[in-house]
A and B are shown apart, each in its own frame.
Chain A
């Protein structure tokens, strides 16, 4: 103990207890700004919203502290809301699967067959578009998928279709494509970080020991990159639950997702209903994270990516 506080002893009162308390306070001091931000800007608003989700509104749409479960009941008794939630889950799952499949192929190729230096450059190229505006990128997709867009021109030019199709954008397909594009880099980064550490001679060894290539993959590679796969799933799936800009720009009237619903509630000053939807999503995400918490590795993305 004594040796730990030598540095502080010159400034703190010379009693042992005083020195210890002073040292402890100094140790905690660096956490103060973070604590203020988390409590003041996150936990308190969250608590407020949680309370709002159980409160009512008066005829002026002002929130009044009258406790009710109606906000939650309304959500589950409205088929459109439930259908939107369900559709969001389906699209989120689909996008996650496609993202992971494409990102895995890219990451596997980079990790196994490309030198580390070139792999880093390739990853950078994948990430660079994400330094441009989100809005710009989604607008670009409107241009690509639209009636006079690049995709239609190519398909008509090749004679695959006779006239420009309206099916590519302002529907669920458009949302799906753009979401896949937006989230592939996250998945690729996480999976690359995971595969980069894998020693591929293990696959050779497994085949040497009698495993077919598929079994070698399943029994040797898959268990070792499972944390990366799950982290990638979480990094793609959870943000999609909050996506409202992309669906509103390329999803059209029927391509809306749950977050658009939530945004609409707030736009219409239906704060308690909006809060209730928000907490339903948050509860779902929390359950997901608890189930997979053992595998979630933030450092895969933040440190290694």
Chain B
């Protein structure tokens, strides 16, 4: 519509995808800006892969509109879309050498031979596989095959690169390396990346923005920081990182909105959240925000303090994880090592009466009902 400079790279407007009775995507709207490293995050069956396949053109929309750079592409077949994909299983062509795999898309465009040769060299260099150009896919390791798939898709210089769980098949160490590598390649080529994963850590570490999906809906869109620190509901809070949830209800303590825990403790909250009046709500606190000790907390901050008993103390290497049973519920606290060696103290806590506390500014009220609903939807929907 307007100039390419202002239109989002990808725009979904009320997109619905049904498989017979099952709804895989339900009126999803989202915009992905040019140059983003955008992550679709959610459990299997949440609709993230469906979204990716719709953008790639591999499956048709049931209703709604899909735009790439402002152009409606609902009915454009995949080979005419300016979008390329790194497939989960890479889908390299086993009968072609690495160089021919990368050249395939360029040959389909009928580019001149010297241009094809130049680009194949350029993108194999980008992924660090220049020496492997004459190998065949069967002779590559998983990580190398992944890089070839990446080079093959990027060599087309698409508007948007789609990545379908590209790190899923790699082992942990390689996955970490590839996370760094993908972020570097994204910076280097500047193309919009749309990335599907169920691994929240992958999403947090690489994405510029994340859409958390469940049951065919987008639950929340935001930067990793926004989503981690301000999840909109219990599902998002639970899916991204580890969380403590304390049951209770929204109340007023005379000075402003507050949250009353089941043991009667009143926790001040900044603003009364929307839509939490009727539904079940919970107070969410990240474990790293929870302090624990046998004595009362020091410092200036107006902490909420409750009493409990340490039921488990686990040494985790760079931190210790302490589980405390309180009359308001179970709280997990993480204590990171380094500043002082308190391991001995922590071990002594086991089965002892302790205090737990947190800064109320670091706790958030989230709706609690949604989780069960979305789990039911998950069972009904198709895979992906």
Contact = CB atoms under 8 A, between A and B. Distances in A.
B105 interface: yes
Given A209-B104, A209-B152, A210-B108, A201 B77 contact: no
A213 B77 CA distance: 10
Interface string A77-97: 000000000000000000000
A252 to B, nearest CB: 46
Contact of A210 (B79, B89, B93): B79
Contacts of A204: 58, 78, 87, 91
B89 A201 contact: yes
B87 A201 contact: yes
A206 B104 contact: yes
A223 B91 contact: no
Contact of A224 (B95, B105, B153): B95
A219 interface: yes
Interface string A205-237: 111111111011001100110000000000000
A199 B95 contact: no
A145 B58 CA distance: 45
B147 interface: no
Nearest to A212: B79
Interface residues of B, number: 22
A140 interface: no
A15 B93 CA distance: 56
Interface residues of A, number: 19
Contact of A199 (B77, B91, B156): B91
A202 B93 contact: yes
A196 B344 CA distance: 61
A210 B91 contact: no
A208 B79 contact: yes
Contact of A205 (B77, B91, B95, B109): B91
B79 A211 contact: yes
Nearest to B80: A210
Interface string B335-354: 00000000000000000000
Contact of B105 (A202, A209, A212): A209
B301 to A, nearest CB: 53
Q: Which of B77, B91, B95, B104 has the most CB of A within 10 A?
A: B91
Given A199-B89, A201-B89, A219-B104, A208 B84 contact: yes
Contacts of A211: 79, 104, 108
Given A209-B152, A210-B156, A212-B79, A202 B91 contact: yes
B193 to A, nearest CB: 15
B128 interface: no
A197 to B, nearest CB: 10
A208 B56 contact: yes
Contacts of A220: 93
Nearest to B84: A208
A223 B104 CA distance: 14
Contacts of B108: 206, 209-211, 215
B329 interface: no
B85 interface: yes
Contacts of A223: 95
A117 B7 CA distance: 48
A100 to B, nearest CB: 20
Nearest to B104: A209
A273 B378 CA distance: 76
Contacts of A205: 85, 87, 91-93
Contacts of B89: 199, 201
Interface in A171-211: 199, 201-202, 204-211
A211 B83 CA distance: 13
A301 to B, nearest CB: 22
8 contacts: A204-B78, A208-B58, A209-B104, A210-B79, A210-B105, A210-B156, A212-B79, A224-B95
Given A208-B58, A223-B95, A224-B95, 18 more contacts: A201-B87, A201-B91, A202-B91, A202-B92, A204-B91, A205-B91, A205-B93, A206-B93, A206-B104, A208-B79, A208-B153, A209-B79, A209-B84, A209-B108, A209-B153, A209-B156, A210-B156, A219-B104
Interface of A: 199, 201-202, 204-213, 215-216, 219-220, 223-224
